[in-house]
């Protein structure tokens, strides 16, 4: 059933309208506070079974458990509960929970259409098609063993399903996702691979620390209206070579990382500009890169995409390579999810459990909600700001003291920004595990429980050596001793969170949630998944084909742990 959504200024009258319809059509009575389709048509505030204590700078010591919930599971991809009343037969029937949601939606200070006022390319755009071929080509890897798609494959949620990325020197370069391992044993990349889905919706910065950052942060612009700062320039100084937008600017950097794509043996002693110039010459078959590819049809590809007959040295530049890579990634738009359908008027797009989860999500912790939207706001479900949430720090770190990762401080130089990381988007979140800047949590329930009680979560994580339960580390000998500084680094992050709370500088208020409420939140997060990303056939336009997208015989045809094509 679909309802026609009135203009925003008129939507607030929807509850009253429904009440009139109820009086005329007798669509039911009873309490709507729990979201059952028995339809009290007053707008209620969502409530829990327990009151929420004010944090006052402390971190909660307990989690409210509902021990009657015997069906709780840690599988985030299970189907949400279905209610027989979800199939509404009335022409227009807003339940109590629908009315509460409408009231919250009417209060949003952002456009509910993620694509409003944005200019994003289609995958059919010739330059996006060129970008796809480049994205899947191992020719952009210094040692021909890694492509952009090695860590960001569409079939893996635009990421790699690993806690910490494995770029170069993989045991099997064509094995992607679970089972991909570095030939030295442990992953060398210090952070989790963020999804590149919906990359064109970011307006502030890219990467967990926003080291590629729009200086103007213009709304709906993806960085194209103002200067963009990158690691090639000092903080708050625009990079003249950044390109047209944030995504093109971001595309300039993985190829320069020795652990991600470059390798230690390529352009030894060279700077970022040297690396990019060599790779462009390889692709263009000129200068220092001439003859490095036995088969090279890239010039023709560039000429067709850009619609010119320019020679290789002037056309196959890294600026144009980064632009094409950016346009391909900006075409990866996957927002057609049940929540979006609900916003557009289909009140049956969500189950009752998902609707209750949405109420919790968008209601503050002080009002007995989960408070998620304090940071996860807007159509991208991110405020694009940097926050301390004290997720466990595992891995090799970014070179800070004791293998630590200071996050945003590494860019700003401000100690106040230590352990702050950019709020991730929650679109398609159920397909981008593991979670956190170092991929320390495997499932969403563990993430939510961390928010409920970060102190207990950190303590349990290290008491149990929980990283050893992650797929990437489960078969490593002596796993519990891999990262000796991980606990103290994580406790330092926790202390920073306490400090911020005591100074009223944190938006992170721990909610009190029982198991049923956690399940409802997970169900709502499932409703942020675009079904296209679950279909290989639907994703096919964004995955390079060995016959049609292979100008250099270096195409990455990814397989999973069982040898099946991704």
Burial zone of 308 (CB within 10 Å; 0-12 exposed, 13-18 middle, 19+ buried):
exposed
Q: Which residue has the higher pLDDT, 107 or 67?
A: 107
Share of the chain above pLDDT 70, in %: 84
Task: Give the pLDDT score at 90.
Answer: 47
Q: What is the pLDDT of residues 36-78, one digit of tens each?
A: 333 333 333 333 333 333 333 334 434 444 433 433 344 455 4
> Is residue 340 within 8 Å of 198, Cβ to Cβ?
no
Q: What is the pLDDT of residues 232-265, one digit of tens each?
A: 999 999 999 999 999 999 999 999 999 999 999 9
Q: Is the dihedral of CA 161, 201, 209, 131 positive or negative?
A: positive
- Per-chain mean pLDDT for the chain: 88
Among 161, 159, 162, 150, smallest CA distance to 186 is for: 162
What is the distance between the alpha carbons of residues 171 and 112, in angstroms, rounded to a whole number? 44
What is the distance between the alpha carbons of residues 88 and 86, in angstroms, rounded to a whole number? 6
Task: Compute the radius of gyration of the chain from its Cα atoms.
Answer: 25
Kindly state the average pLDDT of the residues 150-174: 98
What is the distance between the alpha carbons of residues 98 and 387, in angstroms, rounded to a whole number? 31
Residue 8 scores a pLDDT above 60: no
Residue 15 scores a pLDDT above 90: no
Among 271, 197, 206, smallest CA distance to 245 is for: 206
Range with the lowest mean pLDDT among 82-91, 135-144, 174-183, 269-278? 82-91
Helices (H) and strands (E) in the chain, counts: 17, 5
Task: Give the pLDDT score at 138.
Answer: 98
Distance in angstroms between the alpha carbons of the first and the last residue of the chain: 36
175 forms bridges with which residues in the sheet? 559
Residue 18 scores a pLDDT above 70: no
Task: Give the pLDDT score at 93.
Answer: 73
* Long-range contacts of the stretch 487-490 (C-beta < 8 A, 24+): 487/462, 488/402, 489/393, 489/397, 489/402, 489/403, 489/404, 489/405, 490/390, 490/391, 490/392, 490/393, 490/458, 490/461, 490/462
Q: What is the pLDDT of residues 388-423, one digit of tens each?
A: 999 999 999 999 999 999 999 999 999 999 999 999
Q: Which residue has the higher pLDDT, 75 or 134?
A: 134
Token digits for 219? 């709304």
What is the distance between the alpha carbons of residues 527 and 339, in angstroms, rounded to a whole number? 6
Domains, the chain:
126-181+196-333+535-542 (1.10.760.10), 372-508 (1.10.760)
What is the distance between the alpha carbons of residues 151 and 445, in angstroms, rounded to a whole number? 24
Given phi > 0 = left and psi -120 to 50 = alpha, else beta, which region is 559? beta
How does DSSP assign 436-504, residue by residue? TTTT-BSSHHHHHHHHH-HHHHHHHHHHTTGGGGSTTTTT-TTGGGS-TTHHHHHHHHHHHHHHHHHTT
Which residues, including other chains, have CB under 8 Å from residue 234's CB and lie 6 or more apart? Answer: none
- The C-alpha torsion from 201 through 203 and 209 to 212, rounded to 10°, is 110
Residue 561 scores a pLDDT above 60: yes
> Is residue 419 within 8 Å of 406, Cβ to Cβ?
yes
Residue 508 scores a pLDDT above 80: yes
Q: Is the dihedral of CA 555, 560, 564, 566 positive or negative?
A: negative
Q: What is the pTM of this model?
A: 0.86
Q: What are phi and psi of 433, to 5 degrees?
A: -65, 155
């Amino acid at each position: 059933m679909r309802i026609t959504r009135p203009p925003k200024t008129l939507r607030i009258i929807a509850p009253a309208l429904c009440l009139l319809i109820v009086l005329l059509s007798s669509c039911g009575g009873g309490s709507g506070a729990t979201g059952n389709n028995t339809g009290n048509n007053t707008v209620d505030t969502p409530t829990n079974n327990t009151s929420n204590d004010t944090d006052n700078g402390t971190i909660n010591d307990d989690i409210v458990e509902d021990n009657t919930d015997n069906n709780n599971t840690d599988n985030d991809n299970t189907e949400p509960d279905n209610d027989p009343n979800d199939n509404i037969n009335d022409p227009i029937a807003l339940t109590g929970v629908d009315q509460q949601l409408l009231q919250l939606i009417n209060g949003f200070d952002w456009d509910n259409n993620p694509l409003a006022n944005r200019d994003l390319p289609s995958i059919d755009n010739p330059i996006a098609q060129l970008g796809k071929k480049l994205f899947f080509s191992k020719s952009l890897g210094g040692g021909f063993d890694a492509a952009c798609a090695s860590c960001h494959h569409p079939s893996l949620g635009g990421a790699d399903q690993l806690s910490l990325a494995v770029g170069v020197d993989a045991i099997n370069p064509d094995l992607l996702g679970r089972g991909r391992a570095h030939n030295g044993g442990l992953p060398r990349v210090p952070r989790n691979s963020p999804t590149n889905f919906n990359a064109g919706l970011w307006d502030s910065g890219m990467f967990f620390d926003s080291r590629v950052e729009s200086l103007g942060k213009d709304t709906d612009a993806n960085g194209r209206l103002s200067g963009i700062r990158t690691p090639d320039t000092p903080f708050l100084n625009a990079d003249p070579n950044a390109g047209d937008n944030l995504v093109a600017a971001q595309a300039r950097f993985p190829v320069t990382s020795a652990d991600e794509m470059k390798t230690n043996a390529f352009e030894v002693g060279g700077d970022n500009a040297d690396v990019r110039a060599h790779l462009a010459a390889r692709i263009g078959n000129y200068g220092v890169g001439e003859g490095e590819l036995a088969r090279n049809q890239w010039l023709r590809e560039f000429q067709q995409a850009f619609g010119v007959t320019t020679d290789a040295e002037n056309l196959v530049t890294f600026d144009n390579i980064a632009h094409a890579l950016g346009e391909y990634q900006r075409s990866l738009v996957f927002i057609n999810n049940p929540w979006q359908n609900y916003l557009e008027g289909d009140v049956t797009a969500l189950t009752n459990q998902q609707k209750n989860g949405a109420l919790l999500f968008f209601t503050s912790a002080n009002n007995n909600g989960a408070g998620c939207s304090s940071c996860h706001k807007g159509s991208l479900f991110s405020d694009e700001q940097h926050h301390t949430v004290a997720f466990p720090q595992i891995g090799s770190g970014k070179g800070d003291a004791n293998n630590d990762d200071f996050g945003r401080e590494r860019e700003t130089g401000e100690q106040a920004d230590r352990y702050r990381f950019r709020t991730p988007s929650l679109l398609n979140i159920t397909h981008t595990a593991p979670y956190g800047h170092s991929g320390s949590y495997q499932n969403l329930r563990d993430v939510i429980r961390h928010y409920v009680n970060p102190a207990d979560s950190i303590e349990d994580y290290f008491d149990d050596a929980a990283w050893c339960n992650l797929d990437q580390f489960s078969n490593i000998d002596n796993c519990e001793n891999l990262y000796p500084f991980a606990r103290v680094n994580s406790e330092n992050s926790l202390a920073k969170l306490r400090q911020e709370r005591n100074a009223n500088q944190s938006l992170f208020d721990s909610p009190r949630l029982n198991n049923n409420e956690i399940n409802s939140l997970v169900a709502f997060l499932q409703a942020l998944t675009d079904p296209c990303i679950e279909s290989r056939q639907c994703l096919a336009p964004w995955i390079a084909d060995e016959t049609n997208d292979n100008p250099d015989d270096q195409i990455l045809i990814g397989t999973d742990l069982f040898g099946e094509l991704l």
